[in-house]
Amino acid sequence: MWWVDPLDGTNNYALGIPLYGVCITLFHREQPVLGVIYDSHLEKVYTAEKGKGTFCNSQPLHMWKKRYFPKMTVGWIQGHQVQKERKAMALKQSLDERFKRVLRLWAPSLLWCMMARGDVDGIVLYNSEGEDLYAGVMMVREAGGAVFDFDGRLFDGMNPEPYLVACHPEDRDLFLHIVRDVLDEERKSV
């Protein structure tokens, strides 16, 4: 099965913001096996093939740990249906308070590529499943990153309502602790 998002970042494109691209994922038995993301503005092609690594214009990408908390830059991705959901806003606010910078590009595939090449230290994704998700997850995983759900389980396969964290494997506990703290506080206040 092929999933194609011909214009990831539609609103950015409509507003003239040069953050948009094309995102393609090939699935075999509901498992992503190939991801391709084209950064249209920068004319960069990112590819990730299961077990074979991540590449940008044929050059290999490998994640490496370079910044330390709280100097990290983190990406935020939320689904269109989330809107101003209380838990989502609490989590986003917590990230804003704890990290140097939180990016919200509205072109998720490009954010995943930024992480695969080391420009972003982590991504928190709140219920955002779509054509741009699985190629991005492959980019990060194949570059050496960890992708797991809010309960700490490695993310694999497909999920219609994903709640995910992606980061360098050494930062897993840090991110998981932050997410769990916020969600636990929200449960107590309900």
Give the residue numbers of the binding site.
5, 7-8, 132
Q: Which residues of 45-55 are buried (b: 16+ CB within 10 A; e: fewer)?
A: ebbbbeeeebb
Joined together, the tokens standing for residue 126 give 């709140």
Q: What gap in Å lies between CA 70 and CA 167, rounded to an integer?
A: 14
Residue 32 parent element (H or E) = strand 31-39
- With CA atoms as reference, report the closest residue to 130 among 150, 87, 152, 159: 159
Which residues, including other chains, have CB under 8 Å from residue 28's CB and lie 6 or more apart? none
Give the residue numbers of the binding site for Mg(2+).
5, 7-8, 132
Cα 121 to its chain centre, rounded Å, is 11
- With CA atoms as reference, report the closest residue to 37 among 26, 52, 29: 26
